Amino acid sequence: MTIRRAVYPGSFDPAHYGHIDITTRAARTFDEVIVAVYDKPAKQLLFTVDERVAMLREALKDITNVRVAPFSGLLVHYVREVGAFAIVRGLRVFSDFELEFRMALANRRLAPEIDVINFIADEKHLHISSSTVREIASLGGDVSSMVPPAIEAALIAKFSDPNRDGAGTNYVVSLPD
Ligand code: ADP
């Protein structure tokens, strides 16, 4: 029997309940979901890839058919390498649509055998983005309704670390994510 495997790629800097919801729903749809954490996305990162992977593993540990792994390079190469046939992405607001549509068409051109499947964000999580979470946490705000407790603790630790990259300067916020 062929395993119906999907890859859910993202920066997850950090993961939040919106990501967890998409993963949970994808895990009900596919036999196996690999949550693939971009090693070096073209954006300024708060957490290292190892930290982002570890936080996601902890948050998703109860879903038995989900695996979390770092990845680098071209997404469709990774999807082929792991024997998946679908790319999962979440869609929040209309503004996500144009970018996701363009990426899906580009990926289709590169790998027509791989389909992109978009899950519409749950309305409870529509407003959550990693950049919002980082911005609120950097200012000492309460993010407990947006991220699991271990990720909230990691954010507090990160922003209170005086040796953190960028500490002492205003964290650059509202980057697209
Ligand atoms: P990327 O750098 O690939 O945009 P993100 O970590 O920001 O990585 O997002 C990964 C995926 O999760 C994207 O498909 C994004 O649209 C989706 N996503 C982000 N926030 C939410 C949310 N609140 N609800 C549902 N999906 C979301």
pLDDT tens string 13-46 = 999 999 999 999 999 999 999 999 999 878 889 9
* Ligand 1 atom nearest to 125, measured from its CA: 23
For the chain, which residues make up each domain, given as ranges? 5-125, 130-160
> Which residues form the catalytic set?
19, 43, 92, 130
Fold of the domain spanning 5-125: Rossmann fold (3.40.50)
CB 4 within 8 A of CB 31: yes
Task: Report yes or no on whether pTM surpasses 0.75.
Answer: yes
Distance 20 CA to ligand 1 centre (A): 10
- Residue 114: partners with Cβ closer than 8 Å, 6 or more residues away: 76, 79, 80, 84, 85, 86, 87, 107, 108
pLDDT at 43: 80
pLDDT at 159: 94
Segment 133-175, tens digit of pLDDT: 999 999 999 999 999 999 999 999 999 877 776 665 444 445 4
Q: Give the mutation target among 92, 145, 175 for probing the ligand 1 site: most ligand atoms within 8 A of CB.
A: 92
* Ligand 1 atom nearest to 15, measured from its CA: 6
Which residues sit opposite 67 in a β-bridge? 34
Distance 89 CA to ligand 1 centre (A): 7
What is the percent of the chain where pLDDT is above 90?
82
Segment 77-120, tens digit of pLDDT: 999 999 999 999 999 987 789 999 999 999 999 999 999 999 99
pLDDT at 167: 60
Give residue ranges with CB within 6 A of ligand 1.
Answer: 10-12, 18-19, 22, 41, 89-90, 92, 96, 121, 125, 128-130, 177
Distance 130 CA to ligand 1 centre (A): 8
Q: What is the dihedral of CA 52, 56, 58, 59, to 10 degrees?
A: 140
Distance 15 CA to ligand 1 centre (A): 9
The C-alpha atoms of residue 5 and residue 130 are separated, in whole angstroms, by: 26
